[in-house]
Chains A and B, each alone.
Chain A
Amino acid sequence: MLPAGEVTALVGPNGSGKSTLLKALAGQLEPLTGSVRFDGDDVYGMDKKSLARSLALLTQEGDTPDTLTVEELVRHGRYPHRGFLETLSEADRAAVDRALAVTGIEHLRETELGNISGGQQQLARIAMTLAQEPEVLLLDEPTTFLDLRHQLGVLDAVRELNRDHEVTVGVVLHDIAQAARYADNLVALRDGTPYDWGPPEDVVTEELLAEVFGVDATVREGPEIVPHRPLE
Chain B
Amino acid sequence: MATETDTRLAVDRFEWVDPTLAGFCAVSLALAFAGTLVQVSFGTYTMTLGTAWGAVFDPAVWLRLDVLATLLLGDGLAGSLGFETEYDLAKDTLVVWTIRMPRVLVAALVGLSLALSGAIFQAVTKNELASPFILGVSSGAGLAILLTLVAFPTLSTLLPVTAAVGGTLAFLVVYAIAWKGGTSPVRLVLAGVIVGTVLNSLQTALFFFAGDVGTVQQAVAWTTGSLTGVDWEQVRMLLPWVVLVVLPGTALGARQLNVLLLGESTASALGMRVERTRFLLSGVGIVAAAASVAVAGIVGFVGLIVPHMVRTVVGTDHKRLLVGCAFAGPALVVVADTVARLFFPVVVGSPTQLPVGIVTGLVGGPYFLYLMRKRQQLGEL
**What residues make up the interface of A, taking CB atoms closer than 8 Å to B?**
23, 26, 28, 48-53, 56-59, 61, 63-68, 72-73, 76-77, 79-80, 84-85, 87-88, 90, 129, 132
20 extra A-B contacts, CB within 8 A, seeds A59-B263, A67-B315: A26-B269, A48-B268, A48-B271, A48-B273, A50-B271, A52-B270, A52-B271, A53-B271, A59-B265, A59-B266, A63-B380, A64-B261, A64-B262, A64-B263, A68-B316, A79-B272, A80-B271, A87-B9, A90-B5, A132-B270
* A-B CB contact pairs (8 Å), 10 listed: A28-B269, A49-B271, A52-B269, A52-B271, A59-B265, A65-B316, A76-B258, A84-B252, A87-B12, A129-B269
> From DSSP, what is the main secondary structure of chain A's interface residues?
mixed
Set B9, B270, B273, B317: member contacting A77, Cβ < 8 A: B270
Q: Would you give the shortest CB distance from B122 to chain A, in whole angstroms? A: 12
A-B Cβ contacts below 8 A, count: 66
- B381: interface (CB < 8 Å): yes
Q: Would you give the shortest CB distance from B313 to chain A, in whole angstroms? A: 11
Q: Contact between B268 and A28 (Cβ–Cβ < 8 Å)? A: yes
Q: Would you give the shortest CB distance from A139 to chain B, in whole angstroms? A: 11
- B375: interface (CB < 8 Å): no
**What residues make up the interface of B, taking CB atoms closer than 8 Å to A?**
5, 9, 12-13, 252, 255, 258-259, 261-266, 268-273, 315-317, 380-381
Across the interface, which residues of A come within 8 angstroms of B273, CB to CB? Answer: 48
Across the interface, which residues of B come within 8 angstroms of A72, CB to CB? Answer: 317
Across the interface, which residues of A come within 8 angstroms of B265, CB to CB? Answer: 23, 28, 57, 59, 61
Once the chains are docked, how many angstroms separate the CA of A39 from the CA of B201? 57
Q: Which residue of chain A has the shortest Cβ distance to B8 in the bound complex?
A: A90
Quick one: which of A50, A51, A79, A80 has the most chain B CB within 10 A?
Answer: A79
Q: Contact between B315 and A88 (Cβ–Cβ < 8 Å)? A: no
Once the chains are docked, how many angstroms separate the CA of A56 from the CA of B381? 24
Q: Would you give the shortest CB distance from A41 to chain B, in whole angstroms? A: 15
Q: If the complex has contacts A48-B273, A49-B271, A61-B266, are A76 and B315 also in contact, measured as CB distance less than 8 A? A: no
Across the interface, which residues of A come within 8 angstroms of B269, CB to CB? Answer: 26, 28, 52, 56-59, 129
